[in-house]
C-alpha cells in the first residue's frame, strides 16, 4: 500500500504527501509514538519505524531496516538491508547504514560514511566524511572516525581516539584513550594503541604490539611481535621494531635501524642508520648507535657513539 497523494495522520504519526510505505509490515507503535516521516522521504520493504523516530529530507529507509527509539535520519541518508538507527542515534548527509550495521546511543554518522556488516557505532561516537566501518567493528565512547579511514574486522575504537586520513584499523586491533591513527597508517592484528600515542604517515603496526604514552610512530616504520613502546619515543623512517623488544622514555629510532629480540632501548638513546640491536642488549642513557653497528647478546651501552663493529 502506498500513501502519496495526501498528508496522513495516524495518531501522532505524521506521513507527509510523497512518502512511500509498505503498510502491512511497518510498525507504527502506540498512538503516542510521535513518528514523523517527511514529505520527500521513502519508507518501504518491510521496514520498522517507531518510537518517536524522525525521518527528514530525501532519506530512504528500506529492506527490513529499523529506525526507532528517538532516532533521527535526515538529509539524503539511506538505512537498508537490516541496518538499524536506534536509541537517539543520528544519521545524516549521504551516509549509508546497512547489512545489520547499527547506530545508537547518541552516536552520529554523516557525510558519505558507510556502516555495514554488523558494525556498531554507539555512545557519543562520530563517523564522518567518507569513512567506512564494517565487520564486527565497534566505534564508541567519544571516538571519531573521519576522512577516508577504514575500520573493519573486529577492531575497536573507543574513548577519545581519532582515526582519520586514509588510515586502516583492522583485525582485533584496539585504539583507545586519546590515541590517533592518521595518514595512510595501518594498525592490525591484536595491536593496542592507547594513551596519547600517534600512528601516522605509512607506519604499520601488527601482531601484539602495544604503543602508549606520547609515542609517535611515523614514516614507513614497522612495529610487530610482542613489542612494547612507551614514553615519549619516536619511531620513524624505515625503522623496524619487532619480536619482544621494549622501547621507552625519550628514545629515537630512525632511518633503517632494526631493534628486535629481547632488546631494551631506554633513556635518551638514539638508534639510527643501519644499526641492528638484538638479543638481550640494553641501550640507554645518551648512547647513539648508528652506521652499520651491531649490538647483540648481553651487550650494555649507556653512553658514547658507536657506528661500526659488532658488540655482544
pLDDT in tens, 51-65: 899 999 999 999 999
pTM: 0.90
- pLDDT classification of 276: cutoffs 50, 70, 90: very high
Give kind and range of the element (H or E) at residue 234. strand 234-235
- Position 33 scores a pLDDT of 61
- pLDDT classification of 32: cutoffs 50, 70, 90: very low
The stretch 166-180 carries a mean pLDDT of 98
What pLDDT, in 10s, does the model give residues 222-271? 999 999 999 999 999 999 999 999 999 999 999 999 999 999 999 999 99
Nearest to 114 by CA among 71, 141, 79, 86: 79
The CA–CA distances, whole Å, from 78 to 83, 85, 90, 162, 230 equal 9, 11, 12, 25, 42
The stretch 178-205 carries a mean pLDDT of 98
What pLDDT, in 10s, does the model give residues 74-130? 999 999 999 999 999 999 999 999 999 999 999 999 999 999 999 999 999 999 999
User: Of 24-33, 113-122, 151-160, 278-287, where does mean pLDDT reach its minimum?
Assistant: 24-33
Nearest to 119 by CA among 156, 72, 76: 156
The CA–CA distances, whole Å, from 175 to 102, 189, 287 equal 20, 12, 32
Amino acid at each position: 500500500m502506498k500513501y502519496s497523494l495526501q498528508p496522513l495522520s495516524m495518531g501522532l504519526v505524521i506521513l507527509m504527501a510523497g512518502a512511500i510505505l509498505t503498510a502491512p509490515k511497518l510498525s507504527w507503535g502506540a498512538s503516542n509514538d510521535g513518528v514523523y516521516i517527511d514529505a520527500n522521504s521513502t519508507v518501504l520493504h518491510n521496514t520498522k519505524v517507531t518510537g518517536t523516530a524522525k525521518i527528514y529530507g530525501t532519506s530512504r529507509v528500506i529492506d527490513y531496516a529499523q529506525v526507532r527509539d528517538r532516532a533521527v535520519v535526515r538529509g539524503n541518508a539511506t538505512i537498508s538491508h537490516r541496518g538499524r538507527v536506534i536509541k537517539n542515534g543520528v544519521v545524516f548527509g549521504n551516509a549509508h547504514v546497512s547489512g545489520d550495521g547499527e547506530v545508537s546511543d547518541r552516536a552520529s554518522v554523516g557525510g558519505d560514511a558507510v556502516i555495514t556488516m554488523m558494525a556498531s557505532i554507539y555512545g557519543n561516537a562520530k563517523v564522518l566524511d567518507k569513512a567506512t566501518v564494517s565487520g564486527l567493528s565497534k566505534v564508541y565512547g567519544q571516538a571519531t572516525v573521519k576522512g577516508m579511514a577504514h575500520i573493519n574486522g573486529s577492531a575497536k575504537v573507543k574513548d577519545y581516539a581519532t582515526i582519520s586520513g586514509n588510515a586502516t584499523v583492522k583485525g582485533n586491533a584496539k585504539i583507545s584513550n586519546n590515541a590517533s591513527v592518521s595518514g595512510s597508517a595501518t594498525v592490525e592484528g591484536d595491536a593496542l594503541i592507547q594513551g596519547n600515542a600517534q600512528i601516522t604517515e605509512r607506519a604499520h603496526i601488527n601482531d601484539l604490539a602495544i604503543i602508549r604514552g606520547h609515542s609517535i610512530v611515523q614514516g614507513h616504520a614497522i612495529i610487530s611481535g610482542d613489542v612494547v613502546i612507551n614514553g615519549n619515543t619516536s619511531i620513524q623512517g624505515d625503522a623496524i621494531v619487532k619480536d619482544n623488544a621494549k622501547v621507552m622514555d625519550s628514545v629515537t629510532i630512525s632511518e633503517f635501524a632494526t631493534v628486535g629480540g629481547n632488546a631494551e632501548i631506554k633513556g635518551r638513546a638514539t638508534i639510527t642508520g643501519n644499526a641492528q640491536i638484538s638479543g638481550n642488549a640494553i641501550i640507554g642513557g645518551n648512547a647513539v648507535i648508528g652506521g652499520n653497528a651491531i649490538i647483540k647478546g648481553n651487550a650494555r651501552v649507556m653512553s658514547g657513539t658507536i657506528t661500526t663493529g659488532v658488540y655482544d
